[in-house]
Amino acid sequence: MQVIKVEHLYKQYQLGQVSTGTISHDLNRWFHKIRGKEDPYEKITIDNAREEKGNSNYVWALKDVNFEVNQGEVLGIIGRNGAGKSTLLKILSKVTAPTKGNIKIRGRIASLLEVGTGFHPELTGRENIFLNGAILGMTKNEIKSKFDEIVAFSGVDKYIDTPVKRYSSGMYVRLAFAVAAHLEPEILIVDEVLAVGDAEFQKKCLGKMKDVSSQGRTVLFVSHNLVAVKSLCTSGILMERGSVSFSGTADETVERYMKANADQLKPKISYNTPLDAIGNEIIKIKHIEVVPSNPFITDEISINFSFWNFSEDQETNLAFDLIDLHEEVIFGTGFKFKKNGDNLSSASCRIPADLMNDGIYTINLYFNSAEMRPLYQLSNAVSFEVADKERNYAYFGKINGAVRPKLNWESE
């Protein structure tokens, strides 16, 4: 049985400063409307593509989204930032209305878009449970009957009559999630709540999500965390540029998403002759390749370099910085080369297995002479993603740290 049916859903947003020109646009829109014409600003609305700077002030955050969810399904919604996931959830939870199209729903929807909505710092934990519960759509009696359960679940029973402004952020989140977790809706929307709380609490949350789905209720789960999506969801949809680009099982969708991501990366550059190669009059790049091109954290990664060196010197320094998505340098490393007869030099650098954290990395290259005189630099020479492996413990969040070495632990 279908519980959600999304049909030709569109959502238009205005970019830039909202107030400038609003009156004239509103008047123009109204003038078109009374003459029975189409909205003049709909035609000039551009697709949701962040990379291309359009000349229109309006953008489709969602464009012709269609999908269905059956009862008891745990649907993972994945996609890059700005693909329209949050907009879709906002429309589903009735926070904002669609521009065109409709969504049909069977049953009560509760969303954990952000837990703790409406918590008032001056009120006690007890008062906030009631207030937050009511905001989420529970009646006083419903909350009363579940009160003890909520408090037990949150684990803050000692502080239940203390104003929540005195809570630690962990306690605050636990209490907030506890309220939301006891909503018992037919359809539950979960958005990235796994990012908060400690491992034990995450375990509780995931357990609650599994409970919900095992009782035949439906869960929509939005996350960047592919491992969590793979382990928790039964099916998935992939969103790209405001539309659903793929739907299938959770595994298929994650696979597809990773492939789409990998297509954006360039783990290999290669040129046949020095004439068409990038570089300058001294250094020309022949070949740089990351092997394997889509490594897991458990793989050894080798980066192979090969370049033409037209300098007089016999020795050249090659160094590179490995940079993550936050433009943070993870490490820098270098090597001294001897030139071959045909001006061509090759080398490869091996990054040991179980060292890198999962994430997307790029490489900045630096060529220097033996006296460290700069010869050539190349930013963002190649890029690749190190993927996480499925884990067999309860924590699915990103492991902290620039690197994630596998270290030796011994019990005493």
Partner 1 sequence: MENKNDIWTEIITPRRGWLDINLKEIWRYRDLILLFVRRDFVSVYKQTILGPLWLFIQPIFTTFIFYFVFNRIAKISTEGIDPILFYLSGITLWNYFSDCFLKTSNTFTSNASIFGKVYFPRLTTPISIVISNLIKFIIQLILFGCVVFYQVYFNDVKIQPNLYLLLLPYLVFLMAIMGLGMGILFSALTTKYRDLSFLLAFGIQLLMYATPIIYPLNFTQGKLHTILSYNPISPILENFRFSFFGSGNFDFSGLIYASIFSFLTLIIGIIFFNRVENKFMDTV
Q: How many residues does the chain have?
A: 412
Question: Which listed range, 49-57, 103-111, 246-254, 322-330, lies at the site for partner 1 (CB under 8 A)?
Answer: 103-111
Instruction: Residue 157: count other Cβ atoms within 10 Å of its Cβ.
Output: 10
137 binds partner 1 (CB under 8 A): yes
The runs of H, that is alpha helices, within 111-190 are 125-135, 140-154, 169-181
Nearest to 13 by CA among 62, 85, 79, 49: 62
Q: Which of residues 52-91 bind partner 1 (CB under 8 A)?
A: 90-91
34 binds partner 1 (CB under 8 A): no
242 binds partner 1 (CB under 8 A): no
279 binds partner 1 (CB under 8 A): no
Sole binder of partner 1 in the list 18, 278, 325, 347 (CB under 8 A):
18
**Sign of the C-alpha dihedral, residues 147, 148, 152, 157?**
positive
How far apart are alpha carbons 96 and 103 in whole angstroms?
13
Q: Which of residues 158-217 bind partner 1 (CB under 8 A)?
A: 163
Tokens of 394: 């309860």
State in Å, rounded, how far the first CA of the chain is from the last one.
55
310 binds partner 1 (CB under 8 A): no
99 binds partner 1 (CB under 8 A): yes
The runs of H, that is alpha helices, within 233-304 are 250-264
For partner 1, give the closer residue by CB, 27 or 399.
27
Question: Which listed range, 31-39, 135-143, 212-220, 238-246, lies at the site for partner 1 (CB under 8 A)?
Answer: 135-143
- Rg for the chain, CA atoms, rounded: 27
How far apart are alpha carbons 67 and 310 in whole angstroms?
58
For partner 1, give the closer residue by CB, 122 or 276.
122
Nearest to 212 by CA among 236, 196, 188: 188
For partner 1, give the closer residue by CB, 47 or 198.
47
How far apart are alpha carbons 157 and 152 in whole angstroms?
7
Sole binder of partner 1 in the list 127, 255, 321, 324 (CB under 8 A):
127
Question: Which listed range, 15-23, 281-289, 372-380, 397-405, lies at the site for partner 1 (CB under 8 A)?
Answer: 15-23
Q: What pairs with residue 337 in β-bridges? A: 316
How far apart are alpha carbons 205 and 343 in whole angstroms?
60
Q: What pairs with residue 14 in β-bridges? A: 58
How far apart are alpha carbons 359 and 311 in whole angstroms?
36
46 binds partner 1 (CB under 8 A): no
45 binds partner 1 (CB under 8 A): no
Residue 117 C-beta: closest distance to partner 1, Å: 4
For partner 1, give the closer residue by CB, 11 or 286.
11
Question: Which listed range, 29-37, 136-144, 217-225, 278-286, lies at the site for partner 1 (CB under 8 A)?
Answer: 136-144
**303, 333 in Cβ contact below 8 A?**
no
Question: Which listed range, 133-141, 256-264, 328-336, 339-347, lies at the site for partner 1 (CB under 8 A)?
Answer: 133-141
For partner 1, give the closer residue by CB, 91 or 318.
91
Under the rule (CB under 8 A), what is the footprint of partner 1? Answer: 2, 5, 13-14, 18-19, 22-23, 26, 90-108, 111, 113-114, 117-118, 120, 122-123, 127, 130-131, 134-137, 139-140, 163
